[in-house]
Structure 1
Amino acid sequence: MKKNKIKVVGLFSGCGGLDLGFKQAGYDIIWANDILKDACETYKVNIGDHIINEDITKVDLDSIPKADVIIGGPPCQGFSGIGKRDPNDNRSALVYSYLDVVNKVQPKIFLFENVTGIKSSKAADGTKVIDNLNEAFQKIGYHINIHTLNAADYGVPQKRKRVFIIGNKFEVDINAPTQTHSEKDSNKKKWISSFEAISDLESPTDDGLVKYTKQPSCEYQSLMRKNSTETTLQITPYSSPTDKEIIKHVKPGGNYMDIPDEVSTKRIMYFKSTGGRTTTYGRLDPKMPNYTLNTHFNRPNIGCNIHYEEDRMITIREGLRFQSFPDDFHLISKTKRNYYVQVGNAVPPLLSRAWADHLQKYLTAERISKTSSTNNLNPSLLET
């Protein structure tokens, strides 16, 4: 089975971060969906026109083609640690729409991505959502493994932890992809720092179009610039006069605790008195990866979104760099808000690529098994 013959269906694809990694690995993505029109337009430009702009609950399951692999991450706000974790949130129920599609299509492998909050979230009856999903997937014929991965361990300049549920028809344990990067393990490459992620980009311009005037200083920059001589969306986000004053006081790697009381808002003073919220009003540490990028990275009060050197918020293009989207990836959006939604909700393509390369051997082993006229996989084919 050649890579480009492995058929993939993408669910809740957004602008295509998860799908892009599989496309880069040579998989054939034949169908995808998302409810956000701007995300679908972005997907069409960068990945393919096979995406359907529709609510998955309204899609005729018979219209979804058969595939070897299903990938996707249902909306995570209902499970996010910064949300209310409302068991009645309809977005939480969409995880079961994913299950319905898997049950209908019956792929050999599925990959389900979500925030770590899903592990502790509960259904309306008090049971754990992830336990219910595990049981439900097993009932429709899948062997399940669950892994929590940090994107920084796979070459993404962002400490973004996500849960992956992997189901397979082969009745084998599928382990996590081998880590390529580490904060401390000298046998692996070092985590990609914020400086390495974006330091080769020129300062923002009015139209966001910038040519490269600096040579790439590391492997990551070369990878991001591989097919480009210039890039777009390098526009400084708007900041209010109050935010501009606040930003000046935050040191690299610092947060709201650096802001003098005399310029602090009531909200900042409340944070100071109650503690926690490490990334709030955070400025990037140039020596470390960024924290988790969210859908509000144009604002200082949600996440670590202040440039490590310049007194400004990071740009959309810099956000794309922190998510490991290449510089030739173009975003389509009719609103400023949806630029940030598309980027912040995406799965980092480099993390997706790690999964795509890793799962290839399981599908190859299945092909070898069929060629050998045996119904069971040879475990030796799956050794890492």
Structure 2
Amino acid sequence: MKKNKIKVIGLFSGCGGLDLGFKQAGYDLIWANDILKDACDTYRLNIGGHIVNEDITKIDLNTIPNADIIIGGPPCQGFSGIGKRDPNDNRSALVYSYLDVVNKVQPKIFLFENVTGIKSSKAADGSKVIDNLKQAFENIGYHINIFTLNAADYGVPQRRKRVFIIGNKLGVDISVPPQTHFENKEGKRKWISSFEAISDLDSPTENGETKYKHQPKNEYQTLMRKNADKTTLHIVPYSSPTDKQIISHVKPGGNYMDIPDSVSTKRIMYFKSTGGRTTTYGRLDPEMPNYTINTHFNRPNIGCNIHYEEDRMITIREGLRFQSFPDDFQLISKTQRNYYVQVGNAVPPLLSKAWAEHLLKYLEDIPSPKAIHIAKSLESQTHKPELVNEYAFANAENHTE
């Protein structure tokens, strides 16, 4: 099956980070959805006009086309209300809207992305949300694998951990994409540092447009600048006089503990007394990837958002760089807030692309039911489950129906 023939539906797409990775890998994106108008406008500008701006719970499932893959990450709100469900329950949780679309479309594979907190979340009845989700997807015919991946391991300059639930109707265990970058491993590509990610960007300007400081100095900068000759959205976020004073005391790689008591707010003093907030009032370490970019990266007290060298918060463009969006990717927003919401909520496109390229081997060389049956018989005889995938894929072309 050719990549441009593999049809993809995106749910809860936002500005399109997850969708963009599949587009970059050559897939055919045919339908998408999000409730935020600004995000949909951004998506149309950069990815395609096939996105529908509507509440997913109000969409007629019969209007959604058939596809080979469904991708998306429902917002985590409402997880506490997910329990062991019966047909009469109120299906208000958005995750179950995702499930409903999967059940209606019946794709070969679906990719469900979410925050790591989903693994520890409990439902109202005390059961684990992740277990309930797995069971719900299995009930509609999907084989499930669950993984936690760090975006930094896939060339994204950000230590962003996310959970991926991967479901398939092929009857196989789908593995994780092969890791491409490493924190500490001789002879392997290292994690992309904050300096490597943004050091070619000049100081911000009033209108956010500026030429690059110099030629690309590394593979990542070259990739981000592939179709761009200047930067945009590179405007210094506003900081209060108090925040500016506080920022000036934080050293590279440091946090609120660097701030003298004489200029610390009551909140900072409370943090100092209780501890445990590594990224609060954090300044980038130029030798390490950033921590997770959130939807408030214009503020110093939520996340590691202070530039490693200049006494300022990182810009929207720098946030996009840390998320691995290319420099020709533009944002549309009627409010300042929604710029940060779109960037912070996105799945890094490079992580998405790693998934997209990895899934090709399952879609291009699909084992037949007969091959899978023989492989499972082999497992029962040898007690080696890894032979199921090995045999089934090796004999995919030799066992046809």
Q: TM-score, normalised by structure 1?
A: 0.94
Distance in 1 (alpha carbons) for counterparts of 2:110 and 2:120? 22
Deviation at 1:188, TM superposition (A): 2.3
| Number of equivalenced pairs | 374
**Partner of 1:242 in structure 2?**
242
State the secondary structure of the residue aligned to 2:185.
coil
Note the 1:24-39 alignment, pairs <5 A. Answer: 24-39=24-39
Deviation at 1:186, TM superposition (A): 1.9
Contact 2:171 2:372 in 1 (8 A): no
Note the 1:132-151 alignment, pairs <5 A. Answer: 132-151=132-151
The 1:227/1:379 distance shift into structure 2, 3 A limit, reads: same
1:253 and 2:256 equivalent? no
**Partner of 2:200 in structure 1?**
200
Distance in 2 (alpha carbons) for counterparts of 1:46 and 1:66? 23
**Partner of 1:23 in structure 2?**
23
**Partner of 2:286 in structure 1?**
286
**Partner of 2:356 in structure 1?**
356
Distance in 2 (alpha carbons) for counterparts of 1:217 and 1:187? 20
Deviation at 1:381, TM superposition (A): 6.5
Distance in 2 (alpha carbons) for counterparts of 1:163 and 1:375? 27
Contact 1:76 1:92 in 2 (8 A): no
Distance in 1 (alpha carbons) for counterparts of 2:91 and 2:338? 18
Contact 2:21 2:356 in 1 (8 A): yes
Deviation at 1:93, TM superposition (A): 1.6
**Partner of 1:156 in structure 2?**
156
**Partner of 1:103 in structure 2?**
103
Letter in 2 for 1:134: K
The 1:194/1:68 distance shift into structure 2, 3 A limit, reads: same
State the secondary structure of the residue aligned to 2:167.
strand
RMSD: 2.0
Letter in 1 for 2:165: I
**Which ranges of structure 2 fall in alignment gaps of 5 or more residues?**
83-89, 376-388, 395-401
Distance in 2 (alpha carbons) for counterparts of 1:145 and 1:269? 44
**Partner of 2:41 in structure 1?**
41
Distance in 2 (alpha carbons) for counterparts of 1:78 and 1:217? 45
Partner deviation per Cα, 1:300-342 (whole Å, 9 max, x = no partner):
0000000000000000000000000000000000000000000
Q: Which segments of structure 1 move beyond 6 Å, counting only runs of 4 or more?
A: 373-378
**Partner of 1:184 in structure 2?**
184
1:172 and 2:172 equivalent? yes
Distance in 2 (alpha carbons) for counterparts of 1:106 and 1:91? 19
Distance in 1 (alpha carbons) for counterparts of 2:169 and 2:229? 44
Contact 2:372 2:392 in 1 (8 A): no
Letter in 1 for 2:30: I
Note the 1:258-273 alignment, pairs <5 A. Answer: 258-273=258-273
Partner deviation per Cα, 1:10-35 (whole Å, 9 max, x = no partner):
00000000000000000001000000
Letter in 2 for 1:95: V
**Which ranges of structure 1 fall in alignment gaps of 5 or more residues?**
80-85
Contact 2:42 2:332 in 1 (8 A): yes
Distance in 1 (alpha carbons) for counterparts of 2:59 and 2:92? 18
Contact 1:75 1:91 in 2 (8 A): no
Deviation at 1:213, TM superposition (A): 3.5
State the secondary structure of the residue aligned to 1:361.
helix
1:319 and 2:319 equivalent? yes
Contact 1:361 1:382 in 2 (8 A): no
State the secondary structure of the residue aligned to 2:93.
helix
Q: TM-score, normalised by structure 2?
A: 0.90
Contact 1:75 1:92 in 2 (8 A): no
State the secondary structure of the residue aligned to 2:365.
helix
